Amino acid sequence: MSDMTGNDTDFSNGPLSGLRVLDCSTMLAAPYGATLLGDMGADVIKIESHHGDDSRKFGPMRGEDAGPFLSLNRNKRDMVLDLRQQEAQRVFADVASTADVLITNVREPALSKLGISYEQVKAHKPDIIWIRVTAFGPDGPYDGRPGIDFLVQGYAGVLALNGEPDGEPVRTSFPAVDVMTSMMVANAAQAALRVRDRTGEGQRIEVSLLDTLVHAQASSIGTYLTTGEIPERTGNRSLAFAPSGCFPTRDRHHVVITTPGEKFFANICRALATDWDSDTRFANAAARKANEDELDRLISERTCQFDRQDLVEKLVAADVLVAPINTPAEVPLDPQIRHNNMLVDVVHPEYGEVTVTGIPIRFYGTPCEVRQHPPLLGEHTRELLAEAGYGAGDIDELIRKGLAADNADIKRRRKQRRG
| Residues forming the active site | 178
> DSSP code of 390?
-
Exposed (0-12), middle (13-18) or buried (19+): which is 347, by Cβ within 10 Å?
exposed
Q: Residue 406: name the closest of 162, 65, 62, 81 by CA.
A: 81
By CB neighbour count within 10 A (0-12 exposed, 13-18 middle, 19+ buried), where does 222 fall?
Answer: middle
Is 107 in contact with 136 (CB distance < 8 Å)?
no
Strands (E), 197-333: 203-208, 244-248, 254-258, 321-324
Nearest partner of 1 among 16, 15, 14, 20, judged by Cα: 20
Secondary structure (3-state) at 352 = strand
Residue type, 82: D
Closest among 56, 58, 52, 80 to 70, alpha carbons compared: 56
Q: What is the DSSP string of 213-231?
A: HHHHTTTTHHHHHHH-PPP
Instruction: Of 401, 409, 343, 418, give the one whose Cα is nearest residue 376.
Output: 409
Give 201's contacts (C-beta < 8 A, 6+ positions apart): 127, 195
Q: Which amino acid is at 255?
A: V
CA 342 to chain centre: 14
The angle, 0 to 180 degrees and rounded to 10, between the axes of the packed helices 262-271 and 308-317 is: 130
Q: How far apart are CA 356 and CA 146, in angstroms?
A: 29
Distance of CA 95 to the CA centre of its chain: 26
- HEC secondary structure over 61-129: EECCEEHHHHHHCCCEEEEEECCCCHHHHHHHHHHHCCCCEEEECCCCCHHHHCCCCHHHHHHHCCCCE
- Report d(CA 106, CA 132) in Å as an integer: 8
Q: Are strands 76-81 and 43-48 parallel, antiparallel or unpaired?
A: parallel
